[in-house]
């Protein structure tokens, strides 16, 4: 487990919350100008603060300068010829670079996903933070939360739990166990 990186993730998420940046755990990164409409029921914060872009916890991490310097990136796939087999990969290193790509490519942007080495998406989070696969899903997968609208503070609490469990997700409690 890379405690230093997990603690920095807490700092990143605290900054997202403090600045009221749009946060949506249901997508790595999305922007309505690229044709990816944020679900308002699942988004907290202001899209005005991020030029129409919302990110999840791992999405903001992949755009953080400290993490980018350590190898975590956000990679965009661009449909350059209108065919999924000819997508161009474009790494972006900041929210500003992402928004510039949205202006340049618009709806040709197919998707964006975090990457670390040869790992993408949840595997990138697992490898970068040196946590278990279960912990990566526990932190970054909205299907592992009971709430539709997930806040940065909720993810921060889970990061602290993963640290307390040595890089693993805490054991799942059955409803019967809690009675």
Average pLDDT along the chain: 84
Torsion of CA 38, 42, 45, 47, to 10 degrees: 10
Q: Please write the tens of the pLDDT for every residue from 102-147.
A: 778 777 766 788 999 999 999 999 999 999 999 999 999 999 999 8
In DSSP terms, 75 is beta-bridged to 91, 113
Gap between the Cα atoms of 159 and 74, Å rounded: 21
Gap between the Cα atoms of 108 and 81, Å rounded: 9
Over residues 32-52, the mean pLDDT reads: 60
Gap between the Cα atoms of 39 and 162, Å rounded: 28
Q: What is the pTM of this model?
A: 0.85
Query: What residue spans define the domains of the chain?
Result: 3-164
Q: Please write the tens of the pLDDT for every residue from 52-90.
A: 677 889 999 999 999 999 999 998 877 766 665 566 777
> What pLDDT does 43 receive?
62
Gap between the Cα atoms of 49 and 109, Å rounded: 21
> What pLDDT does 82 receive?
63
For residue 88, what is the DSSP state? E
Gap between the Cα atoms of 164 and 169, Å rounded: 9
77, 53 Cβ separation under 8 angstroms = no
Q: What are phi and psi of 91, to 5 degrees?
A: -75, 140
């Amino acid at each position: 487990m890379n405690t230093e990186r997990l603690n920095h993730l807490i700092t990143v998420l605290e900054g997202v919350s403090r600045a009221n940046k749009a946060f949506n755990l249901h997508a790595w990164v999305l922007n309505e100008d690229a044709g990816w409409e944020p679900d308002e029921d699942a988004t907290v914060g202001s899209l005005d603060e991020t030029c129409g872009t919302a990110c999840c916890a791992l999405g903001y991490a992949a755009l953080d300068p400290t993490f980018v310097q350590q190898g975590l990136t956000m990679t965009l796939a661009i449909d350059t010829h209108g065919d999924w087999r000819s997508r161009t990969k474009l790494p972006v290193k900041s929210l500003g670079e992402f928004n510039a790509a949205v202006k340049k490519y618009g709806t040709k942007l197919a998707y964006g996903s975090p990457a670390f080495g040869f790992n993408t998406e949840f595997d990138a989070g697992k490898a970068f933070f040196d946590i278990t696969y279960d912990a990566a899903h526990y932190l970054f997968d909205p299907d592992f939360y009971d709430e539709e609208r997930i806040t940065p503070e909720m993810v921060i609490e889970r990061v602290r739990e993963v640290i307390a469990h040595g890089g693993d997700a805490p054991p799942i409690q059955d409803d019967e166990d809690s009675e």
